[in-house]
Amino acid sequence: MRRAFLALAAWCLAATAQAATLALSGGTVIDGYGNPPIADGVVVIENDRILAVGGRGQVVVPEGAELISTEGMTVMPGLWDMQVNLMRLGHGDMNRWNETYGPLAERVIMPIAARQLLQAGVTSARDTAAPLEAAINVRDRVRDHLINGPTLFVSGPLLRKLVPPGTEEWQWAVNGAEDARAKVARLAGADVDYLLLAEVDLWTAEELTAAVTEARARGLPVHAYADRPADVERGVVLQFDGFLGTGMGVAAFPDSVVLALHQRLLEPAARPLVWSPAISAILNFESLRENAEPLDDPRTTAELPPLVAADILGSLANPDRVTGLDMPAVRALTLCAKLHQLDDAKVRLLLGSDAGAPGHLHSRATWQEVDFWVRRCGMPVERAIQAATYDAAMAMGVGHESGTLAPGKYADVIAVRGDLLRHPDLLQFVDIVIQRGHRVR
């Protein structure tokens, strides 16, 4: 009863705060669809929705609207990050983090990560593996305006075959087809947004079939970590909806994986296939080996309690003692090749940073993923932006209401000073963040 009252009160306050119409005027508008940028553009927001988008001479600003100048800025849809770890904040010692901060996930850690993401311009995000009750509660508290954060899509616990000691709350072991079916049913009954699997190469055929069949019956999309070739090959055959990461050792994707992806594309009744490569966690870690100065930037540890910030920074002082990243120096050499292999295979690429990995704080992770795609791997900046907006929203089934700037869609809008299409690293300096019509930055 008390939670319902608080939610209603928060909603009323939010509605009151959003009553005035907003008009962002003067900047270059990128709509997220891939259309040419709109010079001297105007975005009109009414309550939580976009009312109009266009050039200054095309859009009538309602009388009494609050005018926000975006002169000299790039205005675009709020970012989506399709691979974040809300219960991790970049600590370099996985065991210590699990023991010390795991019990604080719901009350402290996940809300901090959510606030960091939103302040960085991430207005929607997909969380990967968290305790079930914590994942649902944090997601719902954000939606009820009780805490600040991006609109969240959560998997709850990850399903896998081998669960490391001390991680049983957010990683569930599967033992047999009936157990797989029961665990998927439990997750669906708790109202998670998608099913996340790992170690697919170790599952029996019966277990995989049971999990996927149960997920389909309950309307859950199925995604899996791509750690080994068999993970992808089996997932393609079973019509998984997507994959995360670029594991598979130190080489580029083997021919068997590329062939499986091409065959999936040729199947007339195949489900669309999406993939968040998440290359920035490793590339960022290797860049910190050469220059750790970004960790000293106060913006990096913004929102963190001082003791937690000191603990995280201390854990990263010696890169050779960091745990949680497998052979980063060698793997970094092939990440761009893998990204281009996926692009050539016509997979729908999604922007996912793996925020929360060692040294990869939520305050910096998403813009770095964009920047590495463009500046390190040579992907067009327009493609990276689309992967972080339109394509991500479409992959989560909400493209009709989010991911682009268009009348009737949710007013998730960010603005950065300068020409983002020429300088994608400007995303590290987001000036304006509007989520569902409410300005949070």
List, for residues 97-113, the tens digit of each pLDDT value: 999 999 999 999 999 99
**23 contacts 46 by C-beta, under 8 angstroms:** no
**Residues 229-240: tens digit of each pLDDT:** 999 999 999 999
Terminal-to-terminal C-alpha distance of the chain: 32
pLDDT at residue number 343: 94
- At position 433, the amino acid (one-letter code) is V
Give the rounded percent of residues in the chain with a pLDDT score beyond 70: 95
Kindly state the average pLDDT of the residues 298-308: 94
**Residues 46-96: tens digit of each pLDDT:** 999 999 999 998 999 999 999 999 999 999 999 999 999 999 999 999 999
Residue with tokens 């770095």: 368
Contacts for 277 with CB less than 8 Å, ≥ 6 apart:
245, 246, 335, 338, 339, 342, 349, 352
Q: Is the model's pLDDT at 13 over the cut of 50?
A: no
Identify the CA nearest to 348 among candidates 401, 410, 393. Answer: 393
Kindly state the average pLDDT of the residues 369-396: 97
Q: What is the β-pairing status of strands 171-173 and 430-435?
A: unpaired
pLDDT at residue number 20: 79
Instruction: Return d(Cα 429, Cα 418) in angstroms, integer.
Output: 10
Kindly state the average pLDDT of the residues 306-313: 96
Identify the CA nearest to 398 among candidates 165, 151, 31. Answer: 151
Kindly state the average pLDDT of the residues 383-391: 97
| Cα distances (angstroms) measured from residue 116 to each of 49, 86, 363, 364, 373 | 24, 10, 5, 9, 22
**397 contacts 124 by C-beta, under 8 angstroms:** no
Kindly state the average pLDDT of the residues 245-250: 79
pTM over 0.95: no
Give the rounded percent of residues in the chain with a pLDDT score beyond 90: 88
pLDDT at residue number 250: 66
pLDDT at residue number 406: 97
